[in-house]
A and B are shown apart, each in its own frame.
Chain A
Amino acid sequence: MLVRERMSTQPVTIAADVPITEALRVMRQSQVRRLPVLDKDDRLIGIVSEKDLLYASPSPATSLSIYEMHYMLSKLNVTELMTPDPITIPPDILLEEAAIIMADNKIGGLPVVENDRLVGIITETDIFKVFLELLGAREKGLRLTLRIPERMGEMARITTAIAQLGGNILALGTFLGDDPTTAIVTVKVVDAPADQLQAAMQALGLEVVDSRET
């Protein structure tokens, strides 16, 4: 799965030379938490997040009047609060590579750039939706969690046993186990009886950690 397949194309952007009050208004209106900042030639020069703006806004506890505060904010431009030269990615990298970059740098969104042009933005939320899909979170079925030994052919044995019972696998995901010799597999299955499935897994010598209908 590539970033291109899940990014938002035509992201909402903001010009560098507008007041932060305008940036806040745009964010609220378009319900986004960050805006790529473009210069006059539509080149990406920064990114500004709602949090950057909120931290910069004077707390209502200051002695400034509402009028003074608004005046101050309207004098402060996006350029002064944006993160310049943000980390960007090309559209053809893997979704999980984008996820690693976000996790390692503790950032919630990455502008996607191709041929020096901003072509999209991908956020934690976009990746979150894929995560739901991956585990079949919105599908009904029997959900089994298994602890399996980390050895060759284990996955083949599991999926074959499910197929033999007439089961259809809606989702399957592998996680790290408690130690390097085991892995955790979560699988969502329809069209096979729960008791038979559990028995088949146990017959394979696998530990059924959890079993539930969803």
Chain B
Amino acid sequence: MTDYYFRFTLGQRLMHGLLALSFLGLVATGMPLRYHQAAWAVWLSHGLGGFRVMGFFHRTFALLLTLCFLLHLGQVGYRLWGRREKGILWGPDSLVPRPKDFQDFVLHLKWFLGLGPKPAFDRFTYWEKFDYWAVFWGMVIIGTSGYVLWFHAVFSRILPGWVFNVALLIHGEEALLAAGFIFTIHFFNTHLRPEKFPMDLVIFTGRVSEAELRAERPSQIDRLTSEGGLTSLKTDAPPLWMRNFGRILGGLTVAIGLLLFFLILLAVLRA
């Protein structure tokens, strides 16, 4: 029987689920405004029950995503100051970029062009780190501008009104960047590229097989073998229900995301 190793904890998987749910909700209730001239936007906004209802759900999902963000910050804070895990700030277990990521990137490009072997990735690849930080700063920027717009009456006491012009622009542009990036680049890098197609279930099961780990992240498995941390991550194969759960939920998420991306693309091309 193949050995499996934990990659994501249950908490991290739930967090990703919350993130994905609120993100889809925000895109679905926000993009109709940005692409108001498209027929689907009119249809969707009326189908959802009007712009007030749409606004209500947009704010609800925003609160959910804010909760997600704060929980994550709390978790990072706890691991940093509570459990003294200095490793999350620097090193192979950290999401902070380090020189190896740039080397990996160059090597990866060479591999794309057939000019060298595939780089030996560790726990987090450079594109995964980019995903993380893009989402992190995206949430800060979209969230801040969103709250400024939401509570414009309060913010107008301390900020000049033209800030709302800027906030709306940034909110929309950054949202387009986030949606476009997640629904194409992230989906491809993680799920849709030929090696993973149609879906990498690790974000639902939390586990990867030994063969997959060795092929994808040889540096991590070698490091863990030599450090002796590998056995603590060892687990059973994910049960069938869990894989099916992941397939259904993941398939649905990717499908909705691609649909939204297609609609946005349609509106952009027609504009």
- Do chains A and B stick together as partners? no
